[in-house]
Amino acid sequence: MILEKIARALETDIQPGDEFIISYEHEANNGPWKRLAERRNAVVKYWQPTPVSAENPYSVAYKVEELLPLVSSRTRLVAITACSNILGSLVPVEEAVKALRQRAKEQGARKVEMSVDCVAYAPHRKMDVRQWDIDYCVFSVYKVYGIHNAAVYVRSAALKTSLMSIAHHFLKVDDKPYKLQPGGPGYELVYGATAIVPYLKSLMPEDEQTLYLCSGVCRPVDGQYI
């Protein structure tokens, strides 16, 4: 549902004729963008996986060189998965985003934002939204830590300029993450999530915790600390 919330919040920033490029597999990374395109008369393009072995037609992967021809001056959003939830194959996110941004610049695209679905990626690999240079990133907390919640990263510029508030109309949250929260969360789920930090801290000695918190976690990302 978190990508559906982002799609709803993007609605006023999408113009007729804008183009979305999406990958296959996960419905959570397909349905919201297709419904948004239908509401706003946008165009959906698909980055299709192709066979990598002539002997095995089921051995398929996404190739960056086949993504780039989909980019045009009307490209507005690219929504891909970091890992296929069907095949388990990894997508080279950093390489794909870098090449795509360069192609979009060459094509004269007005505004291109990148969304990465990490539901199948987060349990196995480190996510680095700053290194990837992406605008949105989501994963299922329950696939990693057990609580049936979702987690989302939104670049601060996108939060302020691309997304309208879908929260209660009387709340002044235009520059706050709460603008993506249409109602109160499940309190038991929120409380369950409080165990995540103690769990992570338990995995390393106390002196290493201090070093990690000072040099790794407590650092600004687009003006905000994580």
Which domains, and CATH codes, for the chain?
A: 2-189 (3.40.640.10), 195-226 (no CATH)
Q: Give the model's pLDDT for residue 217.
A: 43
Residue type for 187, please? Answer: Y
Q: What is the mean pLDDT of each run of 10 residues along the chain (226 residues)?
A: 93 97 86 96 93 82 92 97 85 95 96 95 92 95 85 94 92 88 84 86 70 46 42
Q: Give the model's pLDDT for residue 93.
A: 96
How many angstroms separate the CA atoms of 165 and 180, rounded?
6
Q: Give the model's pLDDT for residue 210.
A: 56
Q: Give the model's pLDDT for residue 219.
A: 45
Q: Give the model's pLDDT for residue 24.
A: 80
Q: Give the model's pLDDT for residue 223.
A: 43
Q: Give the model's pLDDT for residue 218.
A: 43
Q: Give the model's pLDDT for residue 209.
A: 55
| pTM (predicted TM-score) | 0.86
3-state SS assignment for residue 183: coil
Q: Give the model's pLDDT for residue 20.
A: 98
Q: Give the model's pLDDT for residue 207.
A: 58
CA triple 204-209-211, angle to 5 deg: 130
Chain-centroid distance, C-alpha 30: 12
**186, 135, 128, 124: which is closest to 157 by C-alpha?**
135
Q: Give the model's pLDDT for residue 177.
A: 87
Q: Give the model's pLDDT for residue 107.
A: 97
Q: Give the model's pLDDT for residue 27.
A: 85
Phi, psi of 47 (to 5 degrees): -85, 105
How many angstroms separate the CA atoms of 155 and 146, rounded?
26
